[in-house]
Structure 1
Amino acid sequence: MKKWLTSAAILAAAFFPRAALAAEGAGAEHGSWLLLLFFIINFVLFVWVLAHYAGAPIRKFLADRGVTIRTALSRASGALAEAEDLANKAAARMAALATDLKKVADELEQETAFQVGKVAELAKSTAERIHRDTEMSSSALSEAAKRRVRAQLAESAATLASGLIGRDFQPSDQGRLIDGFMDKLGNGDRR
């Protein structure tokens, strides 16, 4: 029965708006109160119809929308917490990387200094060895040159002596030379 009355009131207000507005011409005070009363009744009916027919779907839509918003908010909060955690981890890794970089740079500097020292020491020992080898080579070359000069002098002296002996040596000189040599050998045995 309520539905029938409500429907009838809505239809009457929709099809006979003139009846509600007709009271307006009767008097300014009287018409304005009736007009206000009509608007209030009209508004109450509109709210009741809206609440009765659209209330459940609106409540369901608002409840679903609230669940969706809460789900999105919880996901966003989780993503924010995860992002903050990742940012903190990244900052920690960056600090660790900076420390590692400084450590590697120090180690590299120490290794470089060690290698430079080692190369300098090796260069010094190589220079000393080259100096010794040069001295030995120069003394060996000097001795070899002296031997060659002596050999050439001996050869030249032998050639000259052979020429002189061949030219001035007589058979009697040969016998006397052999006798003198034999005497020297004989005197050498006695001593």
Structure 2
Amino acid sequence: MKKWITSAAILAAAFFVYAAPAANAAEGVSAEHGSWLLLMFFTINFVLFVSVLVYFAGPPLRKFFADRAVTIRTALSRLQSALAAAEDLANKAAARMAALSAELKQVADELEQETAFQVGKVKDLAKSTAERIRRDAETSHYAMAEAAKRRVRAQLAESAATVARDLISRNFQPNDQSRLIDGFMDKLGGGDPR
């Protein structure tokens, strides 16, 4: 029934649109001067058009705009929660960056201290090694000097023995030999030393 009434209203509005200029032409009223009847037909036509539009297009439009509002509100709330989460992550990242900066400074300080400690340790080790090498060199020097002295003494003793042997064999007489043996025997026997 509603569809029939709506169809009749649309046909009447269309008829009035074409009937009004025909009525004015029949009365001899020109369209340029206008008439109250023509204004009334256009007004009725507009009112019918708007009422049909509101009647048929109103509920779908209301539903569309309500759905669109719900969609916009949902998207807005989701975006606001995403914005809050992003701000929270940004704050956490800034705090982490500050913590990392402090941790980096601490690691650099520790590394510098460890480097200074290791450099000191290497320096002390180098000093002790140099001192040990110096002591070893001195010991080796003294040992080599003593060995050289012993070799020189041995060489001198050998040379002196050779020279003494040569002298004794050249200048030693048989009576010197008996006198030496007698003197030696006297010393052993506790006799009169000369």
Q: What TM-score bracket applies, with the shorter chain setting the length?
A: 0.7 to 0.9
Q: How does 1:57-136 map to 2 (within 5 A)?
A: 57-136=60-139
More helix per residue = 1
Partner of 2:46: 43
Calculate the aligned-residue CA RMSD, in Å: 2.5
- How many equivalent residue pairs? 188
Higher relative contact order (CA 8 A, sep 6+): 2
Q: Given that residues 17 and 42 in structure 2 are in contact (C-alpha distance below 8 angstroms), is that contact kept between their aligned partners in structure 1?
A: no
Question: Do structure 1's residue 150 and structure 2's residue 156 form an aligned pair?
Answer: no
Structure-2 change in CA distance of 1:172 and 1:7 (3 Å): same
Change (3 A) 1:15 1:37: closer
Aligned letter for 2:140? S
2:137 alignment partner, SS class: helix
Q: 1:57–1:169: structure 2 CA closer, same or farther, 3 Å change rule?
A: same
Amino acid at match of 1:138: H
Q: Structure 1 CA distance, aligned partners of 2:148 and 2:157?
A: 14
User: Structure 2: 5+ residue runs without aligned partners?
Assistant: none
- For residues 187 and 120 of structure 1, the distance between their equivalents in structure 2, rounded to whole angstroms, comes to 70
Decide whether the 8 Å contact of 1:6 with 1:45 is kept in 2: no
Per the alignment, in what secondary structure is the counterpart of residue 140 of structure 2? helix
Change (3 A) 1:160 1:49: same
> What is the Cα deviation at residue 186 of structure 1?
4.0
Secondary structure of 1:31's aligned partner: coil
Matched, 1:168 2:175: no
Q: After alignment, is 33-42 or 151-160 more displaced?
A: 33-42
**Percent identity among equivalent residues?**
77
Does the CA contact (< 8 Å) of 1:21 and 1:35 recur in 2?
Answer: yes
Cα 1:32/1:161, change in 2 over 3 Å:
farther
1:21 is aligned to 2:21: yes
TM-score, length-scaled by structure 1: 0.84
